[in-house]
Structure 1
Amino acid sequence: MTTTPDLLQAALAVATALVYVGAAARQLLTLDGRRHRAPWDVTALALLAVSCHLAIFAIDLQKGVLDLGFYKISSLIFLIMGVISVVSLLVRPLQMVIIATFPFSALAVLVSAFAPPTGQPLAGLESGLLAHIVSSLLAFGVLTLTSLQGALLSVQTQRLRSHNTRGIVRLLPALDTMGQMFFELLAAGVLWLTVAVVSGGLFVDDLLGQQLVHKTVLTTLSWLLLTLTLAVHWQRGLRISTALSLVFLGYGLMAIGFFGSKLVVELLL
């Protein structure tokens, strides 16, 4: 039998998905690369979508457990990305990023609400382990946004080199602004990934055990690669193409470590 919170979550999930799509569509219709901030109605819709998404997560927390199944954790990561995007919209022109991410946020909310549960909900987590989980999710969310920003920057750079200023290039902010936002997101992502790696070493038992060794190795390699990229950029600068390649590789390693085992264990097996 469906409980009241489940019915409320289902209704909120549908409403949240509609607002996410509405915000992305409205931004697409008003997209202008010369704007330094999103229109007020886009920001309002984005804020409403994220608020509804937060309400869904709050209902989950009231059950006294933390569900980190594949679908739930995907929805939670998109929530984190949504919160960061809304805050960033107030000071940075990240409009293209929300056009790319909000439709997937809508899909993640719906799948999380209506798909069968996967994984085992966790209860009674110690504060240290909870800090590791939160910092890991924040790192993954921020670095996903970094990679999306990097993809846009890569397209923009290639188009400008070929003297093609039509299409998407006209809708993007200036190249210097795009690069600055990319490295700002990278710095924030590396910071949270550092917290995740340190807290994992302190509070997670058996990091090199059979269940966690691949995640530990891949995440550590990712952290080393992303940290090195950022350090070299700060010290002497990097060609943007080199920085993008290194970040894409580092993010790929982290994504495989973060989601690879969950995908295999919870969905394929």
Structure 2
Amino acid sequence: MISLPLVYTILALIAYTTAFWYLFTHLMTKRVPNHWFISLVAGLGLILHAVVLLIDMKTPFGINYNVFNLLSFTSALMLLLSLLYSTYRPVLALNLIGIPVAALGLILGYSLSQPILTLKQNTLGLDVHIILSLSAYAVLLMATIHAVLLWLQDRELKNKQKHRVWVNLLPSYQAMESLLFDMLVTGFILLSTALIFGFFTIDDFFAQHLAHKTAFSIVSWFVYGALLFGHYRFGWRGQKARCFTIVGFMLLAIGFIGSKFVLETILGK
């Protein structure tokens, strides 16, 4: 018998595929896509995605925080933010990245879901810390993908290529770079708030295997902070901004996803 989560997963993937194919075909044929149609269809996929997550993450013992659930949650947040950013910036094409990422996260979350992993001493403050952290990771992941797209655009412009795929497909370089710093400011504020909640809600960083994760997060916070200070004080942008953005997220990824994968999957903790 087919389970409800499987049905919701299939329907969400259909919605994601429809929104992606509609946007892709319109952009490739240089037709103006209907923003409302994409938002409604992708939004329907997100609602179904959220239902699947709710079924899997909410348990009688607390929230199931296994690594694949968190990847699925983060990917859905990233698409939600991508849709929101595209409401006031000309970056609708970025959903060509956000939609497949959300679909992949949903597939991984459903198919590789592990036994229930809950926190022994869970509090509301700790839940807020986790939600803020996931939100920060989602925004900063978007910023990292954005930085890669800017690098592709910059390479095509400097090499004066005849077939400029990224230059023609995406908004202007200046608009893309402005949105990059919008994302960085948002992610930096969320990360700062998450770290503050973490210091007030976590009792023993070493006993809870959080010391290395916190250390990487703090170093990443300094990297992002230095970039934003340099941008608004000294006008840093271009290659320097892209490098700082990518390095900052690599530190976050090592601290969060890497350590969690090692603890859960390899060490079984």
Q: Alpha-carbon deviations, 1:118-165, whole Å to 9, x = none? A: 561347731211111111000000000111111111111121122226
Counterpart residue number, 1:46: 42
Aligned in 2, Cα 1:142/1:30: closer, same or farther, shift over 3 Å? same
Counterpart residue number, 1:160: 157
Percent identity over the alignment?
A: 27
Counterpart residue number, 2:27: 31
User: Runs ≥4 in structure 1, deviation > 6 angstroms?
Assistant: 32-37
Q: How does 1:1-80 map to 2 (within 5 A)?
A: 7-31=3-27, 39-60=35-56, 63-64=59-60, 65-80=62-77
Counterpart residue number, 2:167: 169
CA–CA separation in structure 2 for the residues paired with 1:62 and 1:197:
24
Further displaced range: 252-261 or 234-243:
234-243
Q: CA deviation at 1:116?
A: 4.3
Contact 1:222-1:254 at 8 Å conserved across structures: yes
Aligned in 2, Cα 1:46/1:14: closer, same or farther, shift over 3 Å? same
Q: Alpha-carbon deviations, 1:29-87, whole Å to 9, x = none? A: 11279899863322221111111112223334653421110111100001111211222
Counterpart residue number, 1:200: 198
Q: CA deviation at 1:21?
A: 2.2
Match of 2:100 among 100, 103, 120: 103
Is 1:143 the counterpart of 2:140 in the alignment?
yes
CA–CA separation in structure 2 for the residues paired with 1:35 and 1:190:
36
Q: How many residues align?
A: 265
Q: Which residue type is aligned with residue 243 of structure 1? A: A
Further displaced range: 216-225 or 159-168:
159-168
Contact 1:17-1:105 at 8 Å conserved across structures: no
Q: Which has the higher contact order (CA 8 A, sep 6+)?
A: 1
What SS does the corresponding residue of 2:184 show, helix, strand or coil? helix
Counterpart residue number, 2:256: 258
What SS does the corresponding residue of 1:188 show, helix, strand or coil? helix
Q: CA deviation at 1:175?
A: 1.1
Counterpart residue number, 1:224: 222
- Unaligned residue ranges in structure 2 (runs of 5+): none
CA–CA separation in structure 2 for the residues paired with 1:215 and 1:258:
6
Q: Alpha-carbon deviations, 1:194-239, whole Å to 9, x = none? A: 0111111111122245712211111100001101101110112113
Q: Which residue type is aligned with residue 195 of structure 2? A: V
Q: Which residue type is aligned with residue 217 of structure 2? A: T
Contact 1:38-1:95 at 8 Å conserved across structures: no
CA–CA separation in structure 2 for the residues paired with 1:32 and 1:227:
37
- Unaligned residue ranges in structure 1 (runs of 5+): none
Aligned in 2, Cα 1:35/1:122: closer, same or farther, shift over 3 Å? farther
Q: Which residue type is aligned with residue 16 of structure 2? A: Y
Aligned in 2, Cα 1:58/1:183: closer, same or farther, shift over 3 Å? same
Further displaced range: 62-71 or 195-204:
62-71
CA–CA separation in structure 2 for the residues paired with 1:132 and 1:157:
37
Contact 1:14-1:110 at 8 Å conserved across structures: no
